[in-house]
Structure 1
Amino acid sequence: MTNVEQQRLADVFPWRRWGPYLSERQWGSVREDYSPGGDAWNYLSHDAARSRAYRWGEDGIAGFSDDHQLLCLALAMWNGRDPILKERFFGVTNSEGNHGEDVKEYYFYVDGVPSHAYQRMIYKYPQAAFPYEDLVATNRNRGRDDFEYELLDTGVFAEDRYFDVEVEYAKAAPEDILCRIKVHNRGPDAATLHLLPTLWFRNTWNGSGEGRPSLFQVPGVRDAAVIEARHPELGRRWLLCQGDHPLLFTDNEDGQKDAIGRYVVDGARDAVHTSAAGTKAAQWVRLEVPAGGEAVVRVRLTDEPVSAEAVRERLSPPSFDEVIRRRRQQADDFYAERLGPGLTDGERQVARQALAGMLWSKQYFGYDVERWLTQHGRDPLDAGDIRNGDWNHLRADDIISMPDAWEYPWFAAWDLAFHTVAFSVIDLDFAKRQLDLLLSRRYLHPNGQIPAYEWNFGDVNPPVHAWATYLVYELDKAHRGDGGDRVWLATAFQKLARNFTWWVNRKDLDGRNVFQGGFLGLDNIGVFDRSAPLPTGGHLDQADGTAWMALYCQNMLQLALELARDDPAYLESAQAYVEHFAWIAAAVNAPALASMWDEEDGFFYDLLRLPDGSGVRLKVRSMVGLLPLAAATVFDASVSARYPQLIEEANRFLRNHPSVGAVFPPGRFAGRPGSHLLALFDETRLRRILARMLDEDEFLSPYGLRSLSRFHAGHPFEFDVNGQRYRVAYTPAESDSGMFGGNSNWRGPVWFPVNALMIRALLNLYVGYGDEFTVECPTGSGVKMTLYDVAKELSDRLTRLFLPGEDGHRPCYGGQETFAGEHWRDLIQFSEYFHGDNGAGLGAAHQTGWTGLAAVFPLLFARVTGPDLLEHGMTGIFQKIDDEESQ
């Protein structure tokens, strides 16, 4: 069955051209930082943002734009008490927050579809004056051991005195966009809200020589208002505004950008243009909303010329609202098919809102590093030590899935790989394009490095791009029902091979197949800042860095074998990755070389290599020591049948290198007849690691796996260097470390991406070892589970974060009563990470990037049983999943 939304995605018309592509925060970003010292947060603050024209992008509330962000539509509002017009979401910066930057608003992504033919979100706007100064002063004065001071704590929501501003977009056609804003007064008294739908051009004309676009009022329209937009590239558009409310015009220029706010809030009647023309315009609608009542505003952005007489017809509530009703119904039909049977109502709600968050977090990202360096007065060919100075080739002008539209309004490489897995549930084409993007010549460094993130493209994220590429390819192949998109896969493989070579050449310091990747996305998980020179000198041999590379070998082997179906030349590459994995596995398991494994503890640790060549294990029981489990992949019997020469060459390699064979983990060919399990550990070590991982006094929390063992709550790890003591202790909530700005914590909370990799590893190990292999889960409980059952148990615990308990509270809200209230309880936020004991959401509040995996876990286990896995294997199961979805 093909529903209307799926037809739109396959349509030749550009349904995706317009979408919710505005950032929620452009201020404080690297792109907009022109300070001499690179202090992005303080150079362009929230306070300055309203009067300064951005150079590289735009932000707004519930915004919509074209895919190059030339023309933008968003909401501004004023409650009559705020000192400024509310045009963008507010939050504290790194220097203002006691746990780093944090948005101090409440907004929720409720719905959306991949074509953006329907989108819905809700913003809760207080009726009292927004407490900007209180939020900054109180947070700045709190210490790391204190809770963050949130908007609810200020009392502005007392007696429910706030507006629910509900925004719905619906496309009547690809370039005909309806926007309905419903304002609900939740308070006990009537209240006034000034609502200003705002249309403006991104400032691309200053200093560029490009033609200047224009907005102007169309005369002769009765009981409505029309703004015509003319752009040399975009052409002509019209914004139709319901009701005879005044239009205000200004320019998107420094010093003029805030003119509408000064006119409305300060009464500066000379602030706006008298000519009814400019590059920024808004309709000023005053709404008197009764207690418990609602008011509605409708606007329509279209590419179709409309006569003055026809404007009211195009805005007529019956026909306008019918389009929205149909698009909402089509969204229901789409998700009924994509989510399929097997989910509870609660799981279905979680999945749909998680995916809505993914869709609302797609943003335009523009960043021409060469031009940016020139604007800083630097020679792009010799930029010196300025941030990203050696990435002058990078030129971004794309729609990208962002980790969080406010706190992380820029891509991060490993985040994006996990995003594509979640997107594969609803939009495989977009997932494939996102994976393409960072491997394209506009992004991938000529030396083969994938850019990490905007604050430092040259930093190192975990290499999970190949893992995501293989997974998305297999899902796409099953969905297409053919041999798969081999051209796409071959192109990705060649670029990934360049990146793999970069890793081998740059991150294996002494050529021993043991890796030192740096911080690897885990921020403050270690004793030291792993991106900085060590206070001891020497370097770290990283258990996680080495595990990532072992997994990379396995993923590249999977890709090579798939491509070898058509081209036997890829078998040579496949054999190379088999041998590279063997060298890594041997290094990990050879005590004289690596010593990451601690036999006494039964755990992997980072190894501190001192300048004299000696090594000291840093015995912190953390996710670093669990990640070697992730490097476990099963190759089924078809590999042996199709490529017997590969197996023969692998065995010859081990015979020719007895030193490798002697320490290569035995039992690597265990499990289903003819299958091959590649792993960094044998069964004995696996059981010892799992005993710790599944211990509720160590890693296993009620809501997934902790990033640090709870053992360290009573037994902190301490390390002395030259009289200075370094310490790592279990902290289940926010960070007690200032590393990486203090706004991330891998010392106890639950994180979705690494939990996802552990679930994948357990399923692979289940296929490898079968039903006969069982472990206690939880450790010490006496309950025996197969590894499939353990994987499902982890999935259930992660999903439980977002489901209401018997008391009506969702654990992700940490027991706050407000979120169980009538107008809050069905709204879910998907945070960056979660309290290791009670599950409360922490960090960025809208990390429906990798936390969007919350939509994937229940779907996976609703479709795939243990017997399915043993019958079909990890590869064959993709077709099984797609068959279930199509039914």
Structure 2
Amino acid sequence: MTTSTNAGRSGPADEARGREKLWGPYLSERQWGTVREDYSAGGDAWSAFPHDHARSRAYRWGEDGLGGICDEKQRLCFALALWNGRDPILKERAFGLTNGEGNHGEDVKEYYFYLDSTPSHSYLKYLYKYPQAEFPYNDLVATNQARGRHEFEYELLDTGVFDDDRYFDVTVEYAKASPEDILIRITAEHRGPDEATLHLLPTLWFRNTWSWQDGGGATAPRLSATRTPAGTTALRADHPALGSYELRCGGQVPLLFTENETNSERLSGTPNPSPYVKDGIGRYVVNGEDSAVNPAQEGTKAAAHYTLTIPAGGAESTRLRLAPAGSSMPLTRDFDTVFRDRRAEADAFYRELTPDGASEDEARVLRQALAGMLWSKQYYSFDVENWLAGHGLDPWTAPGRAVRNGAWFHMACDDIISMPDKWEYPWFAAWDLAFHTVALSVVDLSFAKDQLELLLRDTYLHPNGQVPAYEWNFADVNPPVHAWAAYFVYTLEELRTGNADRAFLDRVFQKLLTNFTWWVNRKDPSGRNLFQGGFLGLDNIGVFDRSAQLPTGGYLEQADGTAWMALYCQTMLQIALELVRHDPAGYEDHVLKFAEHFLWIAAAMERTGGDGLWDEEDGFFYDVLRLPDGQATRLKVRSMVGLLPLCAATVLRPGQLAGVRGLGDRLRRFVDRHPSLAPGLAEALAGAEDGPRLLSVVDEKRLVRVLSRLLSEDEFLSPYGIRALSRYHADHPYTFGVDGTEHRVGYLPAESDSGMFGGNSNWRGPVWFPANALVIRGLLNLYAFYGDDLTVECPTGSGVRMNLFEVASEISTRLTRLFLRDENGHRPMYGGQRKFQDDPHWRDLLSFHEYFHGDNGAGIGAAHQTGWTGLVATLMTFFGTVTPEHFRTWPARKET
């Protein structure tokens, strides 16, 4: 199996042809506690299916495991299971706190790391740190429940189970000899001072579809023991659709079989039809229940049971091979050679992706970020109509009660999707996914394009044009960044390969026309081109819950919602200008449509006066609260909401507008009819015919004023990027009184002290990568127009002046600094966790957190949200190869 390493033209990304990606890391880290598995009347998914049920209850819509793989439809799964001789249960899946169990909630309490992956998953590497002491399940819950929101979370390291290095580093590696011939090496390294025993149970099982799909009663696939050469053990997997496979295991090792069926007796006191149920292997190993496994050596779930006694500082490796049944390939043939070749190919691939001159540490960050992106793929199955039927709803009768996602009967998901985090967010989120594709485009362009088209298919996109937001509420509203991401990926592919995939761009554009119309019709109720949208992904950033009815009545005109729509218009205009060159008749009207839409929005945002989004006194954009009696009040919170208008800046290449027949005349006639819009078009029409054109909702004067706040270290500019809320609010919290209740927004650099949106996410001070990436994107576009003529102080008040390219580069440097060792050898992202900072077995293991402390850079929130934090790889490759000269090929703006 060969792997080209040319990242620009071919390579592991292009192994997707045929069956190269049939097997991959598509197994979730958590299936319990998801909406898909929740059939309760109350809709509390976490309580309806807790971790305590997961080992005993068969899932319907997916599976989970440790460091696992599965086929692309998750019919057959493989993962690790472990036991240290002390735990009360087999360690088969990651444990974490539900929203009601922790002071911050929804937080995995395990240490595992995605260390390597090629795009085709020809090589994969995963590390899990397993304590030798009893895993402190109850301690983690009880202690975190007792802590308040203002206290630190109680983490696994805090419990003492890693003291004296009494733990195992368990590494699993996969190397493909061919697309369906997968070599597996599991290495357990003992870090502690005394000999210790580890029970290692590589587990193979079928997802249970036979007992409930198509009315149930289907014949179940089977696992069974099979004859093997001396010195090995094997089990056979027969599936009617997938075919037959064998898992060959090194050594004469016991095989344990049970059924992937719910243990109803344990969960509800109902007798089981068979003694062999999902938790049977765990009960056999942990509790010594010999009758819990099938002596006939068959079932739908099976494990090889290795008992490893490892000396202090020692290691044991176990070899396995998953391959089609009937293959004559022995377990060990070419085993080391295949691993060596796959690893060498991965090294060569990432070496080519790494910018020249990058340090070893920078190369490590880049590689682990992209490995995390690739490991975060997940098989996602969810037939919403079927699920709603389980709640007594069908699409032809009016529901008698509210049920989550009750209007989304059309959705039928059955795909591999890039997930934000396979434990905390094991479901897609629309705007997250758009950012994922920007990061994935660095490593796998074809998959990035597939993901962008996925949510626009008829099985996802609502008939009314709405893109589904995320599983907890498909009808919620995420920022409309799909068009921007699609155009970015399209442009990147053309620059890298010379291939302009206009068919892809056209397909995306046609579907986005429907979504754009939905936004205009649904989120601008007053028809004033000032948009709403609710929380728009920014959770608790506002004074009020922006997705709920306001306590004042009335509605919000949102600075961020309107800025998102301005950017949407700009990007749709860019796409239309790209397509019109090849189909003038089909796209000229679209060019004018989006030019006009943008002008209306820009004019609405530029309005001054007491009810405009722009505040002339502060030099900043704010949401406007419109009360039922017609009064309007600006909510003067200096937040990312007011910075996002900077992101709505797009430069059109020289000659793009001139290439559209009569466009200039039509735009000028439009302005003549609407003279109030003239300022919005002035800079777009300014300059020589061969110069760039700027579309922006901020003119130069306002730009400089907003940047003075953005680049102030007393406000938004953190040592590690742009904060979501100005530090000004640390000493000057914003308050708004309603009926005797004070609503307050203060600067919170770390976790939230608000229960809004579950309280597990905070936009009131920390650094978030997606918003930072869009700020950088806006600055680069503004630099392409203003060039070196426009400079600003950076940081504000420092006396150091930078052009906007240099400002963008400075913000990027601060962001990447989060992950790199400083002069003391410490990584800011790990804060005060000494184990991660100093221990040689921990310090080079990177987590890509959901967001980061606004002052010290410590990682917060979901520990594996590489999804959009993986944008660090995009920034490193971009600023590692691009210089201001790339933008100077466009003449700077000339005064007109």
Q: TM-score range by the shorter chain?
A: over 0.9
Q: 1:343 deviation in Å? A: 2.4
Distance 2:728 2:212 in 1: 58
Answer yes or no: is 1:269 the counterpart of 2:284.
no
SS at match of 1:15: coil
Residue of structure 2 in register with 1:543 after alignment: 559
Q: 1:644 deviation in Å? A: 5.5
Residue of structure 2 in register with 1:144 after alignment: 149
Answer yes or no: is 1:19 the counterpart of 2:36.
no
Answer yes or no: is 1:810 the counterpart of 2:833.
no
**Which stretch shows the higher mean deviation, 214-223 or 690-699?**
214-223
Amino acid at match of 1:166: T
Q: Name the CA shift for 1:623/1:238 in 2 (closer, same or farther; >3 Å).
A: same
Distance 1:498 1:640 in 2: 24
Contact persistence 1:381–1:392 (CA under 8 A): no
Q: Normalised by the size of structure 2, how large is the TM-score?
A: 0.95
Q: 1:671 deviation in Å? A: 6.9
Distance 2:116 2:663 in 1: 48
Answer yes or no: is 1:608 the counterpart of 2:625.
yes
SS at match of 1:314: coil
Distance 1:794 1:688 in 2: 18
Distance 1:220 1:525 in 2: 61
Q: 1:220 deviation in Å? A: 5.4
SS at match of 1:525: coil
Distance 2:646 2:131 in 1: 48
Residue of structure 1 in register with 2:270 after alignment: none
Distance 2:684 2:364 in 1: 41
Match of 2:364 among 342, 345, 349: 349
SS at match of 1:193: strand
Contact persistence 2:13–2:445 (CA under 8 A): no
Pairing 1:322-401 to 2, within 5 Å after superposition: 322-382=337-397, 383=399, 384-401=401-418
Q: Note the aligned Cα RMSD (angstroms).
A: 1.5
Match of 1:302 among 307, 320, 323: 323
Pairing 1:205-216 to 2, within 5 Å after superposition: 205-208=210-213, 209=216, 210-216=218-224
Q: 1:646 deviation in Å? A: 1.8
Residue of structure 1 in register with 2:869 after alignment: 851
SS at match of 2:842: coil
Match of 1:284 among 288, 291, 305: 305
Q: Name the CA shift for 1:671/1:46 in 2 (closer, same or farther; >3 Å).
A: farther
Answer yes or no: is 1:201 the counterpart of 2:206.
yes
Distance 2:515 2:354 in 1: 35
Pairing 1:688-699 to 2, within 5 Å after superposition: 688-699=705-716
Contact persistence 1:450–1:499 (CA under 8 A): yes
Residue of structure 2 in register with 1:880 after alignment: none
Distance 2:309 2:687 in 1: 69
Q: 1:304 deviation in Å? A: 4.5
Q: 1:347 deviation in Å? A: 1.6
Distance 1:419 1:251 in 2: 37
Residue of structure 2 in register with 1:224 after alignment: 232
Distance 2:891 2:655 in 1: 10
Pairing 1:770-809 to 2, within 5 Å after superposition: 770-809=787-826
Summarize deviations over 1:701-737 as a string: whole Å, max 9, x none: 0000000000000000000001100000001000010
Contact persistence 2:721–2:814 (CA under 8 A): yes
SS at match of 1:637: coil
Q: 1:666 deviation in Å? A: 4.8
Q: 1:378 deviation in Å? A: 1.8
Amino acid at match of 2:260: N
Residue of structure 2 in register with 1:877 after alignment: none
Q: 1:479 deviation in Å? A: 2.9
Pairing 1:586-605 to 2, within 5 Å after superposition: 586-591=603-608, 594-605=611-622
Contact persistence 2:621–2:642 (CA under 8 A): yes
SS at match of 2:655: helix
Q: 1:259 deviation in Å? A: 0.3
Pairing 1:125-140 to 2, within 5 Å after superposition: 125-140=130-145
Match of 2:513 among 477, 497, 522: 497
Match of 1:708 among 718, 725, 731: 725
SS at match of 2:338: helix
SS at match of 1:183: strand
Residue of structure 1 in register with 2:853 after alignment: 835
Q: Which runs of 5+ in 2 are unaligned?
A: 264-276
Distance 1:345 1:711 in 2: 38
Distance 1:665 1:619 in 2: 28
Q: 1:4 deviation in Å? A: 8.2
Residue of structure 2 in register with 1:245 after alignment: 253
Summarize deviations over 1:205-232 as a string: whole Å, max 9, x none: 0122443100000035432111111001
Q: Name the CA shift for 1:230/1:873 in 2 (closer, same or farther; >3 Å).
A: farther
Summarize deviations over 1:342-401 as a string: whole Å, max 9, x none: 422222111110000001110000000000111222223334410001000000000000
Pairing 1:74-153 to 2, within 5 Å after superposition: 74-153=79-158
Contact persistence 2:25–2:376 (CA under 8 A): yes
Match of 2:5 among 3, 13, 17: 3
Contact persistence 2:23–2:70 (CA under 8 A): yes
Residue of structure 1 in register with 2:274 after alignment: none
Distance 1:786 1:53 in 2: 58
Amino acid at match of 2:188: V
Distance 1:220 1:460 in 2: 55
Q: 1:9 deviation in Å? A: 4.0
Pairing 1:507-518 to 2, within 5 Å after superposition: 507-518=523-534
**Which stretch shows the higher mean deviation, 331-340 or 254-263?**
331-340
Q: Name the CA shift for 1:534/1:676 in 2 (closer, same or farther; >3 Å).
A: same
Contact persistence 1:587–1:593 (CA under 8 A): no
Contact persistence 1:374–1:380 (CA under 8 A): no
Distance 1:768 1:604 in 2: 22
Answer yes or no: is 1:160 the counterpart of 2:181.
no
Summarize deviations over 1:821-875 as a string: whole Å, max 9, x none: 110111100000000000000000001000000111121111111121121599x
Q: Which runs of 5+ in 1 are unaligned?
A: 875-887
Answer yes or no: is 1:561 the counterpart of 2:566.
no
Answer yes or no: is 1:634 the counterpart of 2:651.
yes
Residue of structure 2 in register with 1:183 after alignment: 188
Distance 2:148 2:25 in 1: 36
Distance 1:782 1:668 in 2: 31
Residue of structure 2 in register with 1:758 after alignment: 775
Contact persistence 1:809–1:815 (CA under 8 A): no
Contact persistence 1:342–1:863 (CA under 8 A): no
The alignment covers a number of residue pairs equal to 866
Answer yes or no: is 1:664 the counterpart of 2:680.
yes
Contact persistence 1:99–1:743 (CA under 8 A): yes
Contact persistence 1:118–1:170 (CA under 8 A): yes
SS at match of 1:863: coil
SS at match of 1:387: coil
Amino acid at match of 1:336: R
Q: Name the CA shift for 1:404/1:579 in 2 (closer, same or farther; >3 Å).
A: same
Amino acid at match of 2:465: G
Amino acid at match of 1:184: E
Q: Name the CA shift for 1:404/1:8 in 2 (closer, same or farther; >3 Å).
A: closer
Contact persistence 2:62–2:207 (CA under 8 A): yes
Contact persistence 2:794–2:807 (CA under 8 A): yes
Summarize deviations over 1:470-525 as a string: whole Å, max 9, x none: 0001112223313x111111111010010000000000011000001110000000
Match of 2:880 among 844, 862, 871: 862
Contact persistence 2:249–2:331 (CA under 8 A): no
Amino acid at match of 1:760: R
Distance 1:369 1:873 in 2: 53
